[in-house]
Structure 1
Amino acid sequence: MGNLGAKVRHYRQRGGRSQAVIAGLCGISDRYLSLIENGRAEPSLAVLTSLAAELGVPVGALLDGPQPGPEPVPTTVSAGVAQALMGHGRPRSEEAVTPAALRERVETAWRAWQQSSTRFTWAAAELPSLVADMEHAVRAHRRGSDETTRRETLRAAADLYGLLRSYCRRSGRLDLAILSADRAVRAAEDADDPIRMAAAQWNLAHVLLSQPDAAPEAAAVAETATIQLAELPEDSDQQALTGALHLVQGIAAAQQRRWWDAREHIDEALVVALRVGEGSNVQHTVFGPTNTALHRLSIEMLAGQAGEALRVADRTETTALPSRERQFTFTLDVARCYDLRRDDAAVLVHLLALEDLSAEDFRRSAPAIEMATALHLRVRPTYRPQVAALQTRLNLLP
């Protein structure tokens, strides 16, 4: 019985829905659903069937086999990137690339990563050589006598490792994402660059948010970085990173179901965002009023408040954001809200929009894949050919 309850909880949380939402849809009290999830009540066949239908799984998925673990992101990290991160790089005797050349390549890389619809293909082709050159330059200049060259190289390295954190996390290699985030922290510290140190902690916190039960650690990392930033002179960079760290703390609180704290952090971030304004992309955080609204939407979606989340979405325009990745995340969360409401036509519209934004991101998004799969199983026959065609185009069919 406990195993059944654990499965109900797993599939409910995987869909980002609260007990109150699922209980209401199934015609039972949230107290009764809590008892089921904790193994203290056994549902009737009718209730079990309703639960399975609302969770988007066969009844057998709740009855048979072991308790499921978290849905994995498909692993798609380029072998060349992994090898470069592990030290397969340039000979020590080879001359190091200059900091100016590295800086230009890193900025080009960030533009491609945030704006290209084929960024994973780009990353597989371009990142291995950039990582190898950066690793070689860091080794060559770490103990050199030219302090300016050393610091500029380390600053470029910190920025590149931040990109690698995002690439590895989105590609299903959390181990390499943690490695990249840690190297970003070390490079920023060695460069004695407080702004980049805060950005590196922001990156580390994002990796922790991707790990099961690591939200408290992510919140602690972000809170420490916020305190350290408060000691710096106030300028636009300091303010933008402070706001971005409040957004991290908001998501961390939401993952722990501390909704009041989560919304409070978003409110604090909004105060900062209104001062910073739109168009800021300090340390590639895309912080500003629009990104703050996107995080508010995510929190309401996680809380099961699909109606409020969609009201936020209706007031938010994302086309001007300098990050296609953030546009993808916004559209994904809107699709999940419609999925909570079982508005299948709207789910389909937004899944098609996700494909248009980036088919490569779609293939690497476990929530998007799950929605497409569940939609195909339950959707009305009118829409089923379109869902099947989407799955075929994205190679999602078994």
Structure 2
Amino acid sequence: MVEQLALDVGERVRFHRLAAKKTQNVVAGLAGITTDYLYQIERGKKLPTVPVLVAIAAALDVPPASLINTQSQEVVPRQSRAAGEELHRAITLPPAAEGEPLPLADLRNQINEAWRLWQSSPTRYSQVSGLLGNLIVEVERSLHTADATGTGGEAHRAAADLYGLTRTVAKRTGRVDLALLAADRALRAAEASDDSLRVGAARWNLAHVALAERHHEVAEDIAMNAAHELRDHSGPDAAAVYGSLILVAGVAAARRRDTWTARDRVRSVMPVAWKTGECNTLWTAFGPTNVAMHAVSIEVEAGETSQACHLAEEIEHERSPSIERRVAFLLEQARSYQQRKDYGSALVLLNSAEREAPEDVAYRPLAHSILREVVQRAGRTTAREAARLADKLSVPVN
């Protein structure tokens, strides 16, 4: 317990020092300790006394509690901040919905193309972020004129799909506040469209936001209630949305440390996945591959790294239709090797993820935390290779 606390405190001291762009010499001097002592603290070799911890916090201009907080914190990369600011302007301050709306067929095609890019392009952040602003404007115009033109149902379905995409982009660019706003708009639009599958998908989106905010029980309730409402619906599309909701509920259970419930939920939808096959209903990427990936995620959450690695070896992740899920899977594998302190294997998987989708590794906090630990704690050769990757992606690690 003490050793883990020392590691956690050291990681946070280093995090805040790097975020403040201060050297060890400067922080040590301000805190009235030696540079070597600060070095030992950051490496997790020494657990500072309370007075020393308070002095370090003052030198870093952060509350002392932030150095012992168990919740992870990340430096938001410059490109992620810029994308988040652009998205904020688009979703909160759209231009007046005046003018002739885009034909709904064209709007639908553009939304589908944006989703396709998001799930298939290695530069999806750059491409999709630039499209969302105009699409939001067009959707709002369509909603504004829907009653007069009798196109309410289709307009609301388009809005539900677009705001579902906006939710995931906002989450990945570090704007969980905007993700919640987008998820709420998606749900309202889905309910207005009277489309039960889109309502289920919108609640799937909302559950993901709750997970991102660490409201695990809320996420679980949202997903399980939505799945219950879809249970009696027939057809492969309904089955896919149902299965996706159960998978989110499984992750939520794992994060509240109910591993057996999480495993049971993942196992329960594998027969559903074999019936639907690899599909992408409402962009949920449900299928046998996604279910198997979630089984790995559950074991990683549980700290069962050997089992996670064993399960991962059996998965052909290339079969997933979503690059987001493929990269997430590679990062989950890297995380499992990180937990085992097999930093060489973790770096191999980070490099694989970077080759498949460089922007994902540049944006995702999980990739940053793994990369930082490899740089800080791996052997010299591996640490140097990790530092080169971090420099290439402008990820702050030292």
Q: SS of 2:317's equivalent?
A: coil
1:195-240 residue CA offsets vs partner (Å, 9 max, x unmatched): 000000000001111112x0100010011111111243x1101111
- Would you say the 8 A contact 2:207–2:248 is kept in 1? yes
Are 2:106 and 1:101 equivalent residues in the alignment? Answer: yes
Give 1:381's aligned amino acid: R
Q: Would you tell me which structure has more helix in proportion to its own residues?
A: 2
Corresponding residue for residue 328 of structure 1: 327
**For the residues of structure 1 that align with 2:11 and 2:142, how far apart are their CA atoms?**
45
Are 2:90 and 1:84 equivalent residues in the alignment? Answer: yes
Give 1:155-170 correspondences, 5 Å limit. 155-170=157-172
**For the residues of structure 1 that align with 2:359 and 2:134, how far apart are their CA atoms?**
22
* 1:11, distance to aligned residue in structure 2 (A): 7.3
Give 2:229's aligned amino acid: Q
Corresponding residue for residue 26 of structure 2: none
Corresponding residue for residue 223 of structure 1: 224
Corresponding residue for residue 202 of structure 1: 204
Corresponding residue for residue 344 of structure 1: 343
Structure 1 residues 84, 224: CA separation in 2 closer, same or farther (over 3 Å shift)?
same
**For the residues of structure 2 that align with 1:259 and 1:12, how far apart are their CA atoms?**
29
* 1:70, distance to aligned residue in structure 2 (A): 2.8
**For the residues of structure 2 that align with 1:292 and 1:229, how far apart are their CA atoms?**
18
Aligned counterpart for 1:179 among listed residues 178, 181, 186:
181
Corresponding residue for residue 370 of structure 1: 369
**For the residues of structure 2 that align with 1:9 and 1:254, how far apart are their CA atoms?**
24
Give 2:223's aligned amino acid: A
**For the residues of structure 1 that align with 2:298 and 2:41, how far apart are their CA atoms?**
25
Corresponding residue for residue 27 of structure 2: none
Aligned counterpart for 1:128 among listed residues 129, 133, 139:
133
Structure 1 residues 13, 268: CA separation in 2 closer, same or farther (over 3 Å shift)?
farther
**For the residues of structure 1 that align with 2:277 and 2:49, how far apart are their CA atoms?**
48
Give 1:376's aligned amino acid: V
Report the more deviating stretch, 158-167 or 62-71: 62-71
**For the residues of structure 1 that align with 2:160 and 2:395, how far apart are their CA atoms?**
36
Corresponding residue for residue 144 of structure 1: 148
Corresponding residue for residue 357 of structure 2: 358
**For the residues of structure 2 that align with 1:61 and 1:322, how far apart are their CA atoms?**
48
Report the more deviating stretch, 65-74 or 223-232: 65-74
Are 2:250 and 1:250 equivalent residues in the alignment? Answer: yes
Give 2:259's aligned amino acid: W
Give 2:350's aligned amino acid: L
**For the residues of structure 2 that align with 1:159 and 1:8, how far apart are their CA atoms?**
45
Q: Determine what percentage of the aligned residue pairs are the same residue.
A: 34
* 1:382, distance to aligned residue in structure 2 (A): 2.4
* 1:165, distance to aligned residue in structure 2 (A): 0.5
Give 2:280's aligned amino acid: N
Q: SS of 1:96's equivalent?
A: coil
* 1:90, distance to aligned residue in structure 2 (A): 4.0
* 1:52, distance to aligned residue in structure 2 (A): 8.0
Task: Please report the RMSD computed on the Cα atoms of aligned residues, expressed in angstroms.
Answer: 2.5
Give 1:144's aligned amino acid: A
Corresponding residue for residue 300 of structure 2: 301
Structure 1 residues 169, 340: CA separation in 2 closer, same or farther (over 3 Å shift)?
same
**For the residues of structure 1 that align with 2:6 and 2:241, how far apart are their CA atoms?**
38
Give 1:335's aligned amino acid: A
| Structure 2 length-normalised TM | 0.82
* 1:6, distance to aligned residue in structure 2 (A): 9.6
**For the residues of structure 2 that align with 1:198 and 1:254, how far apart are their CA atoms?**
21
Are 2:278 and 1:273 equivalent residues in the alignment? Answer: no
Are 2:58 and 1:59 equivalent residues in the alignment? Answer: no
Structure 1 residues 91, 135: CA separation in 2 closer, same or farther (over 3 Å shift)?
closer
**For the residues of structure 2 that align with 1:256 and 1:394, how far apart are their CA atoms?**
33
Corresponding residue for residue 47 of structure 1: none
Corresponding residue for residue 236 of structure 1: 236
**For the residues of structure 2 that align with 1:220 and 1:359, how far apart are their CA atoms?**
35
Structure 1 residues 287, 11: CA separation in 2 closer, same or farther (over 3 Å shift)?
farther
Q: SS of 1:249's equivalent?
A: helix
- Would you say the 8 A contact 1:89–1:136 is kept in 2? no
Structure 1 residues 98, 7: CA separation in 2 closer, same or farther (over 3 Å shift)?
farther
1:71-97 residue CA offsets vs partner (Å, 9 max, x unmatched): 1472533433322211322442x0111
Corresponding residue for residue 37 of structure 2: none
* 1:340, distance to aligned residue in structure 2 (A): 1.2
Provide structure 1 residue ranges, at least 5 long, that are not aligned to the other structure. Answer: 15-50
Corresponding residue for residue 61 of structure 2: none
Q: SS of 1:198's equivalent?
A: helix
- Would you say the 8 A contact 1:215–1:253 is kept in 2? yes
Give 1:108-127 correspondences, 5 Å limit. 108-127=113-132
- Would you say the 8 A contact 2:343–2:378 is kept in 1? yes
Give 1:208's aligned amino acid: A
- Would you say the 8 A contact 1:73–1:364 is kept in 2? no
Are 2:268 and 1:262 equivalent residues in the alignment? Answer: no
Q: SS of 1:319's equivalent?
A: helix
**For the residues of structure 1 that align with 2:286 and 2:75, how far apart are their CA atoms?**
26
Q: SS of 1:383's equivalent?
A: helix
**For the residues of structure 2 that align with 1:291 and 1:11, how far apart are their CA atoms?**
35
